[in-house]
Amino acid sequence: MNQLEALKQYTTVVADTGNFQQLAQYQPRDATTNPSLILKAVQQPQYAPLLEEVVQRFADAPLDDIMDRLLVRFGCEILRVVPGRVSTEVDARLSFDTNATVARAQRLIELYQGANVPIDRVLIKIAATWEGIEAARRLEQQGIHTNLTLLFSKVQAIACAQARVQLISPFVGRIYDWYKKQAGSQWDEAAMAGANDPGVRSVREIYQYYKRFGIATEVMGASFRNTGQVLALAGCDLLTISPDLLAQLEASDAPVQRALDAQAARQLDLQPISYDEASFRYALNEDAMATEKLAEGIRAFAADTHKLEALMRQAGARA
């Protein structure tokens, strides 16, 4: 049994990619996308015609409408391969606008339903700002399930639990990046690997809190830099993994052990925490890493959305 097969004994494996032609060989249950992954995909020869097709077919529509149609088209192709769900992201530029986020999410779902995709096979990805979490609360009440992304702290995770969101994606690699950069020459890679990795520790703390208090929201570790981070979270509800790391796991037959255990977490002596808007904003502000990485992530996704729009405009000019 290789490491990927072994990992699947403990955790639901999700593929983190827009490259749907790669998915079948790894047999993930679900798949996640984001603007950066879609941008990367449409610049590859095998996917460029898909972009051209969508732009030409809806040439008279507003650019944001064409964008959503492109995202849904990728999502539908992914759902032909995976048996579970696909995560499709709302425009990151709406991360601080609750009403606009809700409206955009509703449109994405309408487009999926127009393609005969059942609502329970789609997760709407939203940045875990206060406004994004509030949008997710409203959407969940409407039966639209959400995946709260760009999540770097237990503060955000608790607010998501209060909103009863379906799933959260705490980022491992970007937390690791921040602490490594802060430490500079003092960073000890070996000492901070595996269970000691700061990104791994963050997800473990969130997972334990959720299981201790019977929170139904799914925890899906995301943004991995190496297979060590993945394996250190074996037992997490889900892990979304890039094709490169899936290939590395498949190529190794080293043993895999459960690292997170829900039953053990239920025995922990933890205190429940709750946030309103003011206390959430203050607590998040007190966490420099989470504040900086959240802002940086929104900027990066927004920048890639701009680049994707530029490619769409070029395709429209050729139509």
Residue numbers annotated as active site? 125
Tokens standing for residue 244: 């490169």
Axis-axis angle for helices 173-183, 198-212 (nearest 10): 130
The CB density around residue 52, as the number of other CB atoms within 10 Å, is 18
Instruction: Tell the burial category of 243 from Cβ atoms under 10 Å away from its Cβ (0-12, 13-18, 19+).
Output: middle
Q: What is the 3-state secondary structure (H, E, C) of 103-168?
A: HHHHHHHHHHHHCCCCHHHEEEEEECCHHHHHHHHHHHHCCCCEEEEEECCHHHHHHHHHCCCCEE
Rounded Cα–Cα distance for residues 129 and 161 (Å):
13
